[in-house]
A = this chain, B = another copy of it.
Amino acid sequence: MRKTPKQERSRQMIDTLIDATARCIIEKGLDFTTTSRIAELANVSVGSLYQYFSSKEALIEALMNNMASDIGKGLQRLPISETSTLRDLVTGAIHYGFTMLNSRNGLYLELARNWHRLPTDKVANALQQHFLELSRIYFLKYYREYPIENLEVRIFIIVNSTIFTMVRLISQENSMWREEDVENGLIEMILAYLQTKTTAA
């Protein structure tokens, strides 16, 4: 029995367009990502683009959603074994972050740079949510004796701190700092912070 070709083709066109958008952002930067350039990169007419996405924004939003889901999947694949220490966990997550930002030829980097003009909320929330769950699971499992207070706020601070420190680092042409050092620094900072007891407010 044949698969439904319509939806197949639709799905493919949608993916092609989102992919073209990604490539355009990578090649030209978000500021020079235009609907006609996207269509051109997709080897498709502008009209087609608008048959599948009601606006440039919708297209970028779709890309962001893909991104959110990618990141989510990646996070779930992070290895957490019984012998994982908190340091292992944090190191893994930080590493994952750098991998992400350097992946796809800097696509995520450029999106992160422009977070304010983009429908970032979904991605950011997803990210925070994922880390929150990850942390909860971890702390419930292995740190029952050290319940973390204010976990949400801490995750918020850590996630944002990490992302933007990374983005800034990678964005610098000739950085004065080695990626390795910053990576280690972030790990230390996060670990130190997580092991802190909240002071009485």
Chain A interfacial positions (CB closer than 8 Å to B): 31, 113-117, 124, 150, 152-154, 156-158, 160-165, 168-169, 171, 176-177, 180-182, 184-186, 188-190, 192-193, 195-196, 198-199, 201
**Docked-complex contact B201 and A171, CB < 8 angstroms:** no
**Docked-complex contact B165 and A160, CB < 8 angstroms:** yes
The distance in angstroms between the C-alpha atoms of A150 and B117, with both chains bound, is: 34
The distance in angstroms between the C-alpha atoms of A160 and B161, with both chains bound, is: 7
Q: Which of A157, A182, A193 has its CB near the most chain B CB atoms (within 10 A)?
A: A157
The distance in angstroms between the C-alpha atoms of A120 and B182, with both chains bound, is: 20
The distance in angstroms between the C-alpha atoms of A163 and B176, with both chains bound, is: 19
**Docked-complex contact B189 and A201, CB < 8 angstroms:** no
**Docked-complex contact A188 and B196, CB < 8 angstroms:** yes
Chain multiplicity (copies): 4
| A201 proximity list for chain B (CB < 8 A) | 180-181, 184
Looking at the assembled complex, report how far the CB atom of A180 sits from the nearest CB atom of chain B, in whole angstroms: 7
Looking at the assembled complex, report how far the CB atom of A57 sits from the nearest CB atom of chain B, in whole angstroms: 13
| A156 proximity list for chain B (CB < 8 A) | 165, 169, 176-177, 182, 185
| A196 proximity list for chain B (CB < 8 A) | 188-189, 192
Q: Besides A189-B189, A189-B190, 9 other CB < 8 A contacts?
A: A113-B116, A152-B177, A156-B177, A156-B185, A157-B165, A160-B164, A160-B168, A161-B161, A161-B162
Q: Among B150, B153, B161, B186, point to the contact of A164 (Cβ < 8 A).
A: B161
The distance in angstroms between the C-alpha atoms of A160 and B163, with both chains bound, is: 10
Q: Among B162, B168, B180, B184, point to the contact of A124 (Cβ < 8 A).
A: B168
Q: Among B116, B154, B188, B193, point to the contact of A199 (Cβ < 8 A).
A: B188
